[in-house]
Amino acid sequence: MAPDGTGVASQLAVCAPALIVTAVAFLALATGAGMAYLPLLAVGPALAAATCRPCGVLGTGILAVTLGTALGTRGDAPAGEQAILLSALVAVTLASSLASALRERRERILAAVRSVAEAAQHALLKPVPATVGQFQVAVRYSAAAAEARIGGDLYALLPTPYGVRMIVGDVRGKGLPAVSTAALVVGVFREAAYDEPDLLDVVARIERSLSRNLGADDFVTAVVVGHFRSGYMEVVNCGHAPPLLVRDSTVTAVEPARPAPPLGLGALTGETPSLQVLPFTDGDQLLLYTDGVTEARNERREFFPLIEGVARHASDEPSRTLAALADELLAHVGGSLHDDAALLLVRKPSTTDATPVPAMDEPLLQSVAAR
């Protein structure tokens, strides 16, 4: 198998310092300049500090000193001047070797930190299988912070005794405090989703936990969804962007019937979230997302048209839909997102016998109103 482009570039970077030293020596011999080119030999060890291990730096330095000595014997410069230039070359080599050793140490520390971040990602944002319960599922997540694996956006989806339940949320702020809050929300959701038959009680437990742990100015916007009976979804929206329902090639925003404050602010406003019941049958899809997607701007400061994008790329495979949508999003912003972004898409597979979309019956409406 042919080496990939990254491997070839790495090999060239390692060999470049020795090639530079050799090229300088050849140029000095070809022009007959002798000592004039001797200071340029220090470029090799200095460059090797950024690309080679300490032993490689020393090897490049020994090559430079050897060739420099040979050049000095061919020139007519005083011996004292030659000694000074060669001593400077040795000093550069030793300093570059030390710099290389420090760089290797930092790289080992960074690798350890990345492994911890990877473990934290799997603990906080566990990989979602392609099928959960009776649904096809796909997830796309991107953290805005450089080199980060996790950020202030969160998601979770799991089967429970009360059906499949899921959450997508966005923590106010960024950095480690936002990650800590996201971990708290996901942890409470996973416990409450298994324990509480009522989806509103799941949201209430998250609210109580946040009220004890968040600062006065902190909050979390979130959408909590549950599949409580065949043909329907429950949706509780706490100040979050409305989910998108994809049905028969039509994309519709599921706006909350009664707006509710974000999680963590319930005690300040005195308002409680409301529960919506959404007909959801074979072939239907529901997309949950964060504002890092909808507020992504292009060079003309235009927001990303999510509804139009979903309509263009909707397919029978959620993973393919999100892959195409993510590619379009990155193209829209020029290749780099400036905010955390999460996308979670669930689809109810179609069967050979088409199931009609159920109507909202009166007893169901009464039970929802009572809750």
Give residue-wise pLDDT tens across range 15-29.
Answer: 888 888 888 888 877
User: Does residue 90 contact residue 122 with C-beta atoms inside 8 Å?
Assistant: no
Residue 308's SS3 state is: helix
Structure tokens, 244: 């998108």
Q: Given a cut of 70, is residue 10 above it in pLDDT? A: no
- Enter the tokens of residue 135: 């649904």
Q: What is the Cα–Cα distance from 73 to 213, expressed in whole angstroms?
A: 75
Q: Which residues contact 351 (CB under 8 A, 6 or more apart)?
A: 282
Buried b (16+ CB within 10 A) or exposed e, 110-145: eeeeeeebeeebeebbeebeeebeebbbbbbbbbbe
Q: Using the 8-state DSSP alphabet, how is residue 164 labeled? A: E
Stretch (H or E) spanning 124: helix 79-124
The pLDDT of residue 22: 87
Contacts of 95 (CB under 8 A, 6+ apart): none
Say whether pLDDT at 286 is over 50: yes
pTM: 0.70
Phi, psi of 347 (to 5 degrees): -135, 135
What confidence tens digit (pLDDT) does each residue in 135-177 have? 999 999 887 655 555 667 899 999 999 999 999 999 987 767 7
Q: Are 228 and 199 in contact (CB under 8 A)?
A: yes
Structure tokens at 299: 């060079």
- Residue 3, pLDDT above cutoff 60: no
User: Strand, coil or helix: what is 328?
Assistant: helix
Query: Residue 180 pLDDT > 90, yes or no?
Result: no
| Burial of 198 per CB tally in 10 Å (0-12, 13-18, 19+) | middle
Residues 202/209, Cβ–Cβ less than 8 Å? no
Where does the chain hold its CATH 3.60.40.10 domain(s)?
Answer: 127-370
Q: Which of 243, 236, 233, 248 is nearest to 273 (CA)?
A: 236
pLDDT for the residue 119: 65
Average confidence score pLDDT of the chain: 83
Rounded percentage of the chain residues whose pLDDT exceeds 90: 45
Residue range 185-191: mean pLDDT, rounded:
94
Q: Dump pLDDT digits (tens) for 100-112.
A: 999 999 988 888 8
What residues are paired with 101 via a beta bridge? none
Number of H helices, E strands in the chain: 11, 11
User: Model confidence over 189-232: pLDDT tens digits?
Assistant: 999 999 999 999 999 999 999 988 887 778 999 999 999 888 89
Phi and psi, residue 52, nearest 5°: -120, 165
Coil/strand/helix, residue 141: strand
The pLDDT score that the predictor gives to residue 4 is 52
| Distance from C-alpha of 209 to C-alpha of 177, rounded to nearest angstrom | 16
DSSP states along 211-227: HHHS-TT--EEEEEEEE
State the pLDDT at residue 77. 61
Q: Is 238 helix (H, G, I), strand (E, B) or coil?
A: strand
Range 127-370: architecture per CATH: 4-Layer Sandwich (3.60)
Q: 89-94: long-range contacts at Cβ-Cβ below 8 A with a sequence spacing of 24 or more?
A: 89/38, 89/41, 89/42, 89/45, 89/61, 89/64, 89/65, 90/61, 90/65, 92/42, 92/45, 92/46, 92/61, 93/45, 93/57, 93/58, 93/60, 93/61, 93/62, 93/64, 93/65, 94/61
Strand order of the sheet with strand 232-238?
153-160, 163-171, 220-229, 232-238, 276-279
pLDDT at res. 356: 46
